[in-house]
């Protein structure tokens, strides 16, 4: 029975009807994408992984993304797999994949600023660990595009070793008082709320004694300072917290049980970064585009470069295969297995190799703009490439997960998960933990 049949709303009768209704909705609200933009030498030639425009351009892009997300939500397409009480459709993940495939044929605003962290990671975490009031107040606002969310996990001394966070939360009555610093926080400057992991009991072992909260990013005491990247943009931020008050009702999960909440978010993070790229990268790394790059630079007959191109294509296909396995598991209601971690590890490496491959093909053209289409534009991707093996969990973290959880090898001997956190920090830093 169609729950939303008619007009521009989803027809959920079956996958075929759903796809047809998605096409009706998109035909009425967006323009079809033209193929010319994907041909070599035509359209924009950007090879950008991170946002690189001015602050004004980025704000305009965020406003366009929020407007498009609202259009989706008001017509029933905002949260296809989510619960109906929060505006979702309660449909399996394959319906979301069908919609994504149809939407790719249309020219719509890029919604990554909302969907990668906020809707892909924090929304599902609130749904699983938030109380009823928190879910009812935040989830519709997030999936309708009204509220962007950021993830406040990394700190100057705790990134790869996330269990070492030192930002403190001290309870006073029905509130918590937060003090500390977070860093590398994507989209904090655009966010209305943030999921934060804090130390609430330094006498407990490091993986315990932490608690997760949702904070208001506009609350007194929250200061966001953008970080300028060498690619030109300001996509990441430092966030300083000084006596920030958070209601206990904004707590996610149990007091001192923040590690399990963080694992939920990190699992979702691997799902969204395992194979997802920007539209620019998707276009630039197709075999057709890379082959055209070699022909345009008269390197097509270079046997070493052709071997490298073949390897890139083969490994990209392997990542696609792993993501397909994970998607099939989720379609049947199973949790994605180790294939997500393997795909994330391989995908980061493939992106880095792709940037270096383009550098080898282009030679000096990648460091000096001579006006040729599709050449100097690769420089931004090359500058971004070191970050691609770190974001969303470093390669070392992915290797540890695979070694311990898949191969059954002993845990890293350098991690003490039994001693109280405060003495550990004292022994490591020679100072008192905050």
> Which pLDDT value is given to residue 429?
46
> Which pLDDT value is given to residue 85?
92
pLDDT tens for 293-336 read: 999 999 999 999 999 999 999 998 998 888 888 877 777 767 66
> Which pLDDT value is given to residue 21?
96
Q: DSSP secondary structure string, 4-45?
A: S-STTS---SSHHHHHHHHHHHHHHHSEEPPGGGGSTTSS--
pLDDT tens for 146-172 read: 999 999 999 998 877 888 899 999 999
pTM: 0.87
pLDDT tens for 58-96 read: 889 999 999 999 999 999 999 999 999 999 999 988 899
Query: Residue 198: helix, strand or coil by DSSP?
Result: strand
pLDDT-derived band at 5, boundaries 50, 70, 90: very low
Task: Note whether 96 and 80 are within 8 A (CB).
Answer: yes
Compute the distance between CA of residue 337 and CA of residue 209 in angstroms, rounded to an integer. Answer: 28
Residue appearing with tokens 């909705």 = 25
Catalogue all structural domains in the chain, each as residue range(s) with its CATH number. Answer: 149-256 (2.40.110.10), 277-407 (1.20.140.10)
pLDDT-derived band at 434, boundaries 50, 70, 90: very low
Task: Note whether 252 and 130 are within 8 A (CB).
Answer: yes
> CA distances (Å), 20 to each of 9, 10, 37, 118, 225, in order?
11, 9, 25, 28, 45
Residues in the chain: 434
> Which pLDDT value is given to residue 430?
39
* Mean of all residue pLDDT scores within the chain: 88
Residue 160: which of 418, 415, 419 has the closest Cα? Answer: 415
Residue 69: which of 30, 32, 102 has the closest Cα? Answer: 30
């Amino acid at each position: 029975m169609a729950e939303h049949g008619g007009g521009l709303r989803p027809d959920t009768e079956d996958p075929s009807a759903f796809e047809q209704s998605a096409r009706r909705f998109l035909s009425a609200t967006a323009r079809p994408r033209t193929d010319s933009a994907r041909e070599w030498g035509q359209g924009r030639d950007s090879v950008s992984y991170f946002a690189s425009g001015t602050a004004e351009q980025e704000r305009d892009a965020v406003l366009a993304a929020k407007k498009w997300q609202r259009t989706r939500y008001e017509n029933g397409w905002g949260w296809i797999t989510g619960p109906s009480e929060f505006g979702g459709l309660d449909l399996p993940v394959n319906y979301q994949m069908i919609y994504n495939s149809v939407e790719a044929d249309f020219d719509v605003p890029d919604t990554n600023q909302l969907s990668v962290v906020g809707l892909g990671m924090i929304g599902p975490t609130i749904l699983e660990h938030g109380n009823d009031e928190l879910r009812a107040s935040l989830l519709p606002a997030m999936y309708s595009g009204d509220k962007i969310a950021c993830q406040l996990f990394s700190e100057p001394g705790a990134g790869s070793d996330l269990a070492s966070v030192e930002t403190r939360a001290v309870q006073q009555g029905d509130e918590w008082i937060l003090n500390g610093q977070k860093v590398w926080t994507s989209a904090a400057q655009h966010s209305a709320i943030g999921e934060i992991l804090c130390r609430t009991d330094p006498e407990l072992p490091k993986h315990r004694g932490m608690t997760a909260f949702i904070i208001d990013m506009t609350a007194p005491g929250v200061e966001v300072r953008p970080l300028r990247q060498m690619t030109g943009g300001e996509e990441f931020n430092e966030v300083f917290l000084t006596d920030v008050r958070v209601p206990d009702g904004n707590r996610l999960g149990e007091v001192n049980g923040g590690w399990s909440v963080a694992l939920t978010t990190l699992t979702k993070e691997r799902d969204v970064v395992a194979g997802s790229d920007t539209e620019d990268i998707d276009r630039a790394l197709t075999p057709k585009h890379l082959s055209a790059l070699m022909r345009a630079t008269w390197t097509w007959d270079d046997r070493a470069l052709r071997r490298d191109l073949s390897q890139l294509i083969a490994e990209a296909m392997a990542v696609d295969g792993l993501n397909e396995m994970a998607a099939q598991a989720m379609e049947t209601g199973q949790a994605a297995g180790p294939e997500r971690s393997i795909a994330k590890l391989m995908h980061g490496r493939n992106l880095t190799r792709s940037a270096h491959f383009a550098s080898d093909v282009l030679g000096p053209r990648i460091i000096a703009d001579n006006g040729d289409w599709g050449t100097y534009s690769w420089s931004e991707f090359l500058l971004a490439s070191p970050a691609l093996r770190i974001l969303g969990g470093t390669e070392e973290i992915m290797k540890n997960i695979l070694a311990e959880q898949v191969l059954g090898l002993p845990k890293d001997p350098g991690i003490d998960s039994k001693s109280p956190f405060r003495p550990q920090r004292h022994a490591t830093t020679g100072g008192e933990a905050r």
